[in-house]
Amino acid sequence: MLKTALLFAGQGAQTVGMGQDLAAGSPTARAWFDQANATLGYDLAHLCFQGPEAELTRTEHAQPGIFLVGWVAFQLLRERLPDFPFHAAAGLSLGEFTALTAAGSLRFDDALRVVRQRGRFMQEACAATQGGMAAVIGLEEAPLREVCQAAGVTLANLNCPGQLVISGPSDRIAQACEMARAKGARRALPLAVAGAYHSPLMASAQPRLAAELAALPIAAPAVPVVSNVTGEPHADPESIRTRLVEQVTAPVYWERSIRYLLAEGFTRFIELGPGTALTGFLKRIDKNAVALNIADQASLEATLQALR
């Protein structure tokens, strides 16, 4: 049996215009955007479609926007291929909420609201701290961990071989970039982000997110959903709550997550949501894996044709 996993985009994938042609080409998609607007009480669809970019990039808008576009892509896949099975799901950071919703653990409206709150809590944590992140290219994990310890920063994202992200106080990030280059990194570049995601500087968001999640009904997922924190599937609903709170300050073990799925016999992956970053990571991990994506009408049709 061909085993298929769905992958859902994370923050950083946002772009003005995302989801617009999906909504223009499908009453189903438009209805989901309208429902999201009603749930949140503001025009998230307009921000996704028209921007302005500065507003869409704000964490409190980017997170629900990316969640929504990923969810719409998933719904259009289900509408066009009702009998198409998927056997696991994973999502990069924020995308883990979309993966859990696709697997039936969270209801759409609940997930959208909590993702908006998560984004707001993280935005406020960014404003209260002077943090940043940097991508380190071409340096292995062990020497980069030495750099992190010496510089007082955190290894935040382990995305794929040779592509790691560090997070922490802005002045220490600059120092860590210099140290990483001295250790042999091909590049070490600060990222244009609001703060130090997946680091202790986000800790103030955790108790507030925990309170939001405590009030939500969470079911066991219908298919395995891989946790960013462990690189293995979530267990029971209580552990899902725990891991989603831990995820705010914990590293994202994305390569470990994909390698888990590969070891379980998954050979086909469908990235849902804006961009193709996860496809790029996948190909760096296993160039033989089949990678499809749904971000717009053209990629939807191409994926449907490949699946048929």
- The average pLDDT across 111-116 equals 98
In a domain, 195, yes or no: no
Tokens of 188: 């070490």
What is the reported pLDDT for 125?
96
What integer pLDDT is reported at residue 307 of this predicted model? 94
Same domain, yes or no: 22 and 96: yes
If DSSP codes are grouped into helix, strand and coil, which group holds residue 249?
coil
In a domain, 10, yes or no: yes
Same domain? For 25 and 108 the reply is yes
Q: 269's torsion region: left (phi>0), alpha (psi -120 to 50) or beta?
A: beta
Q: Which amino acid is at 172?
A: R
What integer best gives the mean pLDDT of the chain? 96
240 and 99 within one domain: yes
Domain C-terminal end among 190, 209, 230: 190
Contact 291, 167 (CB under 8 A): no
Residue 198 designated active-site: yes
pLDDT reported for residue 99:
98
Q: Which of 170, 198, 234, 257 is catalytic?
A: 198
Same domain, 98 and 12: yes
Active site residue 61: no
Same domain flag for 108 and 18: yes
pLDDT tens digits for range 230-278:
999 999 999 999 999 999 999 999 999 999 999 999 999 999 999 999 9
Q: Are residues 180 and 268 in the same domain?
A: no
For residue 203, the tally of other CB atoms under 10 A from its CB is 12
User: In whole angstroms, what is the distance from residue 304 CA to residue 188 CA?
Assistant: 38
Please list, in sequence order, all residues whose beta carbon lies within 8 angstroms of the beta carbon of residue 4, skipping any fewer than 6 positions away.
Answer: 85, 86, 87, 266, 268, 269, 270
Does the residue 56 lie in any domain?
yes
Same domain, 231 and 265: yes
* Matching residue, tokens 């707001």: 120
CA 111/CA 294 separation, integer angstroms: 21
Residues 95 and 220 in one domain: yes
**Is-contact 50 258, C-beta < 8 A?**
no
- Helix, strand, coil percentages (3-state) for the chain, rounded to 5, are 50, 15, 30
Same domain, residue pair 64 and 115: yes
Q: Supply the pLDDT for residue 273.
A: 97
**Within a domain: residue 173?**
yes
User: How many domains does the structure of the chain reveal?
Assistant: 2
pLDDT of amino acid 109: 98
What value does the mean pLDDT take over residues 83-111? 97
Same domain, 96 and 48: yes
Beta bridge partners of 269: 5, 291
Shared-domain flag, residues 140 and 112 = no
Backbone angles phi, psi at 289, to 5 degrees: -65, 145
Q: What does the pLDDT look like over 117-167, one tens digit per residue?
A: 999 999 999 999 999 999 999 999 999 999 999 999 999 999 999 899 999
Domain range holding 94? 3-127+200-307
Candidates 26, 93, 170, 199; catalytic one? 93
Cα separation of 5 and 233, whole Å?
A: 12
Q: Can you give the CATH number for the domain in which 34 is found?
A: 3.40.366.10
> Mean pLDDT throughout 56-62?
93
Is 291 within a domain?
Answer: yes
CATH code assigned at 150: 3.30.70.250
Q: Which two tokens stand for residue 152?
A: 């007082």
Residue 104 confidence (pLDDT) above 80? yes
184-203 confidence digits (pLDDT tens): 999 999 998 889 999 999 99
Q: At which residue do the structure tokens 């609940």 appear?
A: 110
Q: Is residue 276 part of a domain?
A: yes
Q: Examine the fold and report which residue of 165, 190, 215 is the final residue of a domain before the chain moves on.
A: 190
CA-to-CA distance for 245 and 292, rounded, in angstroms? Answer: 30
Does residue 302 share a domain with residue 227? yes
pLDDT at 1 over 80: no
For 46-56, the pLDDT digits (tens) are 999 999 999 99
- Report the Cα 80 to chain-centroid distance in Å: 24
User: Which of 166, 190, 214 is where one domain is finished?
Assistant: 190
